[in-house]
Amino acid sequence: MKSGAPGQRTVSGGPGFLKQSQPRYGEKVIKVLLVAASLVSVLTTVGIVIALIPPAGEFFGKVDFGDFITGTNWAPLFKPPHFGVLPLVGATLMVTLIALLVAVPLGLGAAVYLSEYASPRTRTVFKPMLEVLAGIPTVVYGFFALKAITPALQDHWPFGDGPQIFNALSAGFVMGIMIIPTIASLAEDAMSAVPHALRDGAFALGSSRMQVSTRVVFPAALSGIVAAIVLGISRAVGETMIVAIAAGGQPNLSFNPLEGMQTMTAFIAAAGIGDLPTGSTGYQTIFAVGSLLFVMTLVMNLLSIRLVRKYREVYE
């Protein structure tokens, strides 16, 4: 299926009598142009690294890296400033965990339903609906979490004090709904790639549809499903607008999801709005936290890409 360069190979690599009659400069110019275009994406990565590393380096010239990574007090604009990033990381992990508790079961459930149960007609109705969910701007999700979900939770909270106006719970819940399509579509791809012979074999042995789904298709597609979840985690860690709107802007090292807390992305956004002067330590914190965020998501993205490749190789 892969298209190499059939034209070129026959002309330039063939026997002598097929030698090209004239050099085709136009073709060469076009190839240079195409290579130049594909370098843009490489330059983007280089640009990201250039944007992050020097200011982050300057920051770590002033602030000890150990203090940064283990400190429990984040107050970069106070006097004296504190640069302990743990409250931001803790909040990020808290919101991510809540989002995954929503998105993993619902996303995988939807994927199994679409891949193993749904009739073709049901699929053509519901798949685009899930895609619409992925296309809604996150600022809208944030608005809905703050103005609709949080008040509803406050009104109907069954035990003790309800959630605060800004809280990790509604931000995480809405983020989980946002991630459902990501997990569902990648997991469904993985399950659809499982050969039909496996299903037929299991059915022939008298398995029910549930047994085929959970004991044959699901294990066979596991690496793709894990990749989907890892990508979902990466999405949750990197999501900005929902947490900036609904989770609040107060750094808070707490494990109570009903409290407001500031995630890494929400801090970057808040600091960016502040229009800090170039070169100040406050400005450099954007890049220090950004570097940490980039490294965390990079590791997860590469892991997810590897896992996707693994299952593709098995069944092609």
Partner 1 sequence: MSSKVLERDPIAGAPGAPRLKGRGTPWRERFFHLSLWASLAVGVVFLVGLITYVVVEGWSRLDSRLWTNFPDLITPSNGGAQSAIMGTLWVIGFTALYCLPTGILTAIYLEEYADQNRWYNRAVEINIQNLAAVPSIVYGILGLGVISRGLGFGQTVLTASLTLSLLVLPVVIISSREAIRAVPQSIRQASLALGATQWQTIWRQVLPAAVPGMATGSILALSRAIGEAAPLLLLGGLTFITFNPTGVESQFTVLPIQIFNWISQSRSEFVALASAAIVILLVILLAMNSLAIWLRNRYSHKW
Q: Which is nearer to partner 1, 34 or 69 (CB)?
A: 34
C-alpha 287/C-alpha 135 separation (Å) is 28
- Give min distance, CB of 252 to partner 1, in A: 19
Q: Would you state the structure tokens that stand for residue 36, as one six-digit string?
A: 């130049």
d(CA 103, CA 273) in angstroms, rounded, equals 30
Measured between alpha carbons, how far is residue 200 from residues 205, 225, 282, 305 in Å? 9, 21, 61, 30
Query: Of the two residues 60 and 294, which places its CB atom closer to partner 1 in the complex?
Result: 294
Amino acid at residue number 58: E
- Where helices occur in the chain by DSSP H, the ranges are 6-12, 25-62, 65-70, 86-112, 120-135, 138-144, 150-155, 168-192, 196-204, 209-211, 218-220, 222-238, 241-246, 264-273, 281-314
Taking the complex as a whole, how short is the minimal distance between the CB of residue 51 and partner 1, in angstroms?
4
Q: How far is the CB of 82 from partner 1 (least distance, A)?
A: 22
Q: C-beta of 254: minimal distance to partner 1 in Å?
A: 23
- For residue 9, give every residue at least 6 positions away whose Cβ sits within 8 Å of its Cβ, in sequence order, or none: none
Q: Closest separation between CB of residue 160 and partner 1, Å?
A: 26
To the nearest whole angstrom, how small is the minimum distance from the Cβ of residue 196 to partner 1? 5
Task: Closer to partner 1 by CB, 55 or 224: give it.
Answer: 55
- For partner 1, the closer CB: 17 or 33: 33
Token couple for 298: 């990079």
3-class DSSP state of 115: helix
- Beta carbon nearer to partner 1, 234 or 262: 234
With respect to partner 1, which residue has the nearer C-beta, 94 or 243? 243
